[in-house]
């Protein structure tokens, strides 16, 4: 494992951490569960002990999901409208459940990726070095 030139912290690979998060696994080891419930991040990995309660995904996953699902739904709607003459009730019967299911499937995937990114980049308390804890403590005072 290499070290970052600026901070002398071990480099955490970004993409493997994000892929582990997308699989709803611990970004550090890829083995432990990331979520205890549907979108509730566990406090620590049961496999490697990495603390995960520092994450601050907040509103990023819903915004990303809305963007992805919106583009897919509009593309499907435009394609169907251009190629077929369908009754509007068919759109409601097919696209609304599709949008709901895609959103429910993508939310934990995107939240996992965000948590993995935060862990890999030492964001929001994922930095174990005491100097950064002192800086955060001084800023809050």
Q: pLDDT-based confidence at 125, cuts 50/70/90? A: confident
User: What confidence tens digit (pLDDT) does each residue in 55-99 have?
Assistant: 999 899 999 999 999 999 999 999 999 999 899 999 999 999 999
Segment among 10-14, 15-19, 68-72, 75-79 with least mean pLDDT: 10-14
Distance, CA of 33 to CA of 52 (rounded, Å): 11
Q: pLDDT digits over 31-61, tens only?
A: 999 999 999 999 999 999 999 998 999 899 9
C-alpha neighbours within 13 Å on the C-beta side of residue 86: 17
The predicted structure's pLDDT at residue 54: 87
Confidence band, pLDDT 50/70/90 cuts, at residue 137: very low
Q: How far is residue 46 from each of residues 4, 25, 37, 43, measured CA to CA in Å?
A: 28, 11, 14, 9
For the chain, which residues make up each domain, given as ranges? 14-128
C-alpha triplet 11, 12, 15: angle, nearest 5°: 130
């Amino acid at each position: 494992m290499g070290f970052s030139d600026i901070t002398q912290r071990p480099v955490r690979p970004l993409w493997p951490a994000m892929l582990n998060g997308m699989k709803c696994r611990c970004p550090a080891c890829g083995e432990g569960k990331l979520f205890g419930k549907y979108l509730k991040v566990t406090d620590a990995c049961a496999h490697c002990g990495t603390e995960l309660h520092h994450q601050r995904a907040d509103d990023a996953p819903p915004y990303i999901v809305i963007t992805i699902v919106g583009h897919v739904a509009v593309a499907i709607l435009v394609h169907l409208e251009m190629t077929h003459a369908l009754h509007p009730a068919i759109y409601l019967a097919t696209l609304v459940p599709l949008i709901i299911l895609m959103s429910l499937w993508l939310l934990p995937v995107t939240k996992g990726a965000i948590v993995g990114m935060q862990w890999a980049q030492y964001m929001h308390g994922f930095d174990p070095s005491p100097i950064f804890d002192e800086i955060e403590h001084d800023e809050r005072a």
